[in-house]
Chains A and B, each alone.
Chain A
Amino acid sequence: MNGEPVIEVKGLQKSFGELQVLKGIDTVIHKGDVVFVIGPSGSGKSTFLRCLNLLETPTGGQILFEGTDITDPSNDINLHRRKMGMVFQQFNLFPHLSIMKNLTIAPIKLLGKSKEEAEKTAYTLLERVGLANRANAYPNQLSGGQKQRIAIVRALCMSPDVMLFDEPTSALDPEMVGEVLNVMRDLANDGMTMVVVTHEMAFAKEIATRVMFMDGGYILEENTPAELFGNPQNERLKSFLSKVI
């Protein structure tokens, strides 16, 4: 069931000044894994995710991406980020660019693709998420759910090896959550390696291959969704689950 390791995290620590948010995280994410990270607010789960592509610079430990230590400053992080797609809670589409340009700017400028080629890829992906007719719209003309689907496609246009989701549905109206989860479900079924920070427990149960429970800067429990939700061992996990489910 386990493919080769994509991301190896070794003793990862992160402090903001005096405040230590991550106190030593060890885990391995394999190819094809769909890892969900759950935990209370302030547990460090978003910081953990943002450390994986160095949006936050770790203050200790190592992160190996496809065998390369990306925490080593001599490795160009920009090259590695091309292969790590990221989806944000607040979508962060580029409001001054049309949807098509949002999707093609990175492949054209960074991967050296031709405009035609990049647009063709973008168009295929847009059709997959059902937004091909909005290619010439601007982000502000879209609903939250549509924006987030576009944001996912924008990351996919770089053909990443892993996708990081930072609470992708937390800023959405409830009736728009489903359309975004559908896209993520499709991705998971296609075998995309995914790390998802979320509060959508039911969704985690459904598509995760593994769930991590974080609190206080540590991973307290890590297991298959059936085991973790059905038979939690850690006391804090038990109390967390009793509150959210």
Chain B
Amino acid sequence: MPQWLQNLADRFYTNFISENRWKYIADGFVVTVEVTFFAVLIGIILGFLIAVIRSTHDKTGKLKIPDFICKVYLTVIRGTPSVLQLLIIYFVVFGSVNISKVLVAIIAFGINSGAYVAEVIRSGIMSIDKGQTEAGRSLGFTYAQTMIYIILPQALKNVLPALGNEVIVLLKETSICGYIALQDLTKGGDIIRSRTYDAFMPLIAVAFIYLIMVMLLQRLVAGLERRLNSSER
């Protein structure tokens, strides 16, 4: 075996095999996926609600107070760094209670992504021609039914690429979990680095894993888009 290959194999062994260090990455991966998945879920539900409230307000002038609350929420969340939001939720909001860090991260990223998802979905709703609402209402559908059966399906389809983008951003954003000492994928790789004093191996490995996850997500979104578009050429 040539010397350089032997070197590489040794480094691989020290970084991942010895003392079961690969577990930092494996466990971190699970945390990252967990946090991303549930945060996306919260983000979509929250974003959906806010988008519907805000566009209802824009179209009909109703829901003044909920709309105001939504606007404050959007301004605060989009106007402050997400690291800071995570720190505040962990050290201030849940400072005096014993709570799982994963849960804190899920809540923080869910609330954060809700703001961005809301604006994405709202832009989708506003992009649907007024005639669609009128056609729905003229048949006798209520405002809510028109929204559910006619506007939202079209709006969601239009914003699917942007939503996919939001999920990708969120997945990578969770790499700041280390700030509250939650061992996610990034933190896992970084711990290995601090133990082995070898930065290259663990950090590149982690980067590679993110890259593959993002590529998988992109394929998923592209597949969804294709399926939705097949109905309408």
Contact = CB atoms under 8 A, between A and B. Distances in A.
Report the contact-size class of chain B (Cβ under 8 Å from the partner).
20 to 34
Interface stretch (A30-38, A89-97, A180-188): A89-97
B131 A90 contact: yes
Contacts of A158: 139-140
A68 interface: no
Contacts of B129: 90, 92
Interface string A92-117: 11111010000001100110000000
B132 interface: yes
Interface in B115-158: 129, 131-132, 134-142, 145, 149-150, 153-154, 157
Contacts of A98: 231
A92 B232 contact: no
A95 B140 contact: no
Interface string B189-218: 000000000000000000000000000000
A106 B139 contact: yes
A92 B132 contact: yes
Given A90-B131, A96-B153, A81 B232 contact: no
A156 to B, nearest CB: 11
A53 interface: yes
B227 interface: no
A214 B134 CA distance: 24
A140 to B, nearest CB: 6
A78 B142 contact: yes
Given A94-B132, A138-B233, A109 B138 contact: no
Contact of A110 (B131, B135, B139, B231): B139
A79 interface: yes
Contact of A138 (B135, B142, B150, B232): B232
B140 A141 contact: no
A90 B132 CA distance: 10
B141 A109 contact: yes
Interface in B152-183: 153-154, 157
B139 A82 contact: yes
A55 B231 contact: no
A240 interface: no
Contacts of A94: 132, 135-136, 150, 154
Contacts of A154: 139
Given A90-B131, A96-B232, A84 B145 contact: no
Contacts of B142: 78
A126 interface: no
B139 A155 contact: yes
Q: Which of B129, B138, B139 is most buried by chain A, counting CB atoms within 10 A of its CB?
A: B138
Interface in A29-66: 53, 55
A138 B231 contact: yes
B131 A92 contact: yes
A86 B232 contact: no
A78 B232 contact: no
A88 interface: yes
Contact of B140 (A55, A88, A106): A106
A194 to B, nearest CB: 15
Contacts of B131: 88, 90, 92
B141 A140 contact: no
Given A95-B232, A141-B233, A81 B140 contact: yes
Given A90-B131, A95-B232, A96-B231, A55 B137 contact: yes
A151 B138 CA distance: 12
A65 B218 CA distance: 53
B139 A96 contact: no
Contacts of A86: 134-135, 138
8 contacts: A55-B138, A81-B137, A88-B134, A90-B129, A95-B154, A96-B231, A106-B141, A141-B233
Given A78-B137, A81-B138, A88-B134, 13 more contacts: A55-B137, A86-B135, A86-B138, A88-B131, A106-B139, A106-B140, A109-B149, A138-B232, A138-B233, A140-B232, A140-B233, A151-B135, A155-B139
Instruction: Give the 5 A-B residue pairs with the shortest CB-CB distance, closest first.
Output: A82-B140, A92-B135, A86-B138, A92-B131, A106-B139
